[in-house]
Amino acid sequence: MRLNLLLLVALLASSLVLVHTAYESRRLFSALDRERARAQALQAEHQRLQAERQIQATPARVEQVARVRLGMRVATPAVTEYVVDPLASPGQGASR
């Protein structure tokens, strides 16, 4: 009889813990799921920003900014002195 009572109490306690654990696991899972969704959204946002940066840095735009705002010119061979790194490419001779 005692033992039965003891078992009953143990059963009740374990049931309550079970309920609590189930609740807790659902709460945590829903939080995890929300964060996963957020991670995905941030990933997508990252891609968008990358694309945005690319749009701002198209060769045409870079060339225009360099030419107009920074007053730069294209480096033609006439204004370039070419040197060859003897360590980097031992096989190639200096062309000029």
Partner 1 sequence: MIGARGPGKGARATREAATGARSARLIGRGLPGARSMPNSTSPLLASRTPPGRSQFVVALVALAFVGLAARAVWVQWVDAGFYQRQGDKRVVRSEDIPAGRGRILDRHGALLATSVPAIDLVADPQAFAADGAQRRALARLAGMTPTALERRLDSPSRFVYLKRGLDAELRERIEALGLQGLRVEPSLRRSYPAGASVAPIVGLTDVEHKGLEGLELVLDGALRGRDGARTVVRDRYGRVIEQVGEPLAPLDGEDLRLSIDLAVQHHAYQRLRDAVDAQRARGGSAVVLDARSGEILALANVPSAEPTARGPAAAAARRNRALTDIFEPGSTVKPFTVALALQRGVPAGRIVDTDDGTIRIGGATIRDHRPHGPLTVAEVLQKSSNVGTVKLAQQIPSAELWAMLSAVGIGRKPALEFPGVATGVLRPHAGWRPVEHATMSYGYGLSVSLLQLARAYTVFANDGVLVAPTLRARDAGAGRVAGTRVLDAAVARQVRAMLRQAAGAGGTAPRAQALGYSVAGKTGTARKQEGKGYASGKYRASFVGLAPADDPRIVVAVLVDEPRGRVFYGGEVAAPVFAEIVQHTLRQLGVPPDLEVAPAIHAAPAVEESL
Structural tokens at position 95: 């062309």
Q: Which of 16, 44, 66, 72 binds partner 1 (CB under 8 A)?
A: 44
Cβ contact 82:95 at 8 Å? yes
- Compute φ and ψ for 90, nearest 5 degrees: -65, -25
| Beta-sheet strands, E only, within 36-90 | none
Binding map of partner 1 across residues 67-96, x = CB under 8 A, - = no contact: --------xxxxxxxx-x----------xx
Interface residues with partner 1 (CB under 8 A)? 15, 18-19, 22, 25-27, 29-30, 33-34, 41, 44-45, 47-48, 50-52, 54-55, 58-60, 75-82, 84, 95-96
